Structure 1
Amino acid sequence: MATKTHLSTRPVHPVSVGTRMLQGAGIAFLLIVVFLLGVKNPNPAWGKFWMIKPLLVVPIAGAAGGVFYYLMDHLRYQGGWKKIAALVLGLLGYLFVLWIGTVLGLNGTLWN
């Protein structure tokens, strides 16, 4: 007679990478839209469609930040101080990537 064991383990990633990417891109898109709506009189030298570059680059950077946050999950589920460190590193990494994406997206227009 064989002994059966029922092992139950928690998944390391309870949320998929695609979900984290969409969350990161969505937050970045909302932030850049709010920032761009404040521009009342854009410089005519920027061209007619100057908003397209930041509206594409910043959400892509936000999605990359979401991937970084996703990669911190293995530390987050170890508990203790590692959970706090993963949360802080994940948020700082997301904010850094979002900042770099904003600089790259607004380069040549609002960011000189």
Structure 2
Amino acid sequence: MSSKNHFSFSRQERSKLVKNALLGAVIGLAFISLIIFNVGVPKPEWGTLWRIRPILVTSLAGAAGGIFFFFMNDFTARRGWNKVVVYALSFFVFTVGLWIGAILGLDGTLWN
């Protein structure tokens, strides 16, 4: 009796997954960069490398949103309202995830 691995991806699917994750991470990086690089003089208690945490956490949250979109994209094969609902749900989850990532990244510095 052989077992099937249901989570194996073809090379094309892996490249789409990586592309979606990278696109989400770049969107997250651009979003958080607009916020943190506009800070004039940061408080001294934040330390010198305070920008690293928000950049990493928000970029990871954006990548997770891109991965969510990749997995939800399988449901867009059908036409009509299903496609609209999947895109709206993916956008909502991505936006909320990016917002939560920004909150977690900025906790203790700008988000107090």
Q: TM-score range by the shorter chain?
A: 0.7 to 0.9
Secondary structure, aligned partner of 1:72: helix
Partner of 1:111: 111
- Count of paired positions: 100
Shift, 1:52, TM fit:
0.7
Q: Which has the higher helix share?
A: 2
CA deviation vs aligned residue, 1:69-98 (integer Å, no higher than 9, x gap): 111112212111000000100100100110
How far apart are 1:50 and its partner, in Å?
Answer: 0.5
1:57 aligns with 2:85: no
Superposition pairs of residues 16-55 of structure 1, within 5 angstroms: 16-55=16-55
Q: Which runs of 4+ in 1 moved over 4 A?
A: none
Q: Percent identity?
A: 39
List per-residue Cα deviations over 1:30-63 (Å, max 9, x = no partner): 1111111110011111011100100111101100
Partner of 1:99 in structure 2?
A: 99
Unpaired stretches in structure 1, ≥5 consecutive residues:
1-12
Deviation of 1:29 (Å): 0.4
Code of the aligned partner of 2:60 = I
Separation (CA, whole Å) in 1 of partners of 2:73 and 2:36:
33
Alpha-carbon RMSD: 1.4
Greater shift after overlay, 83-92 or 29-38?
A: 29-38
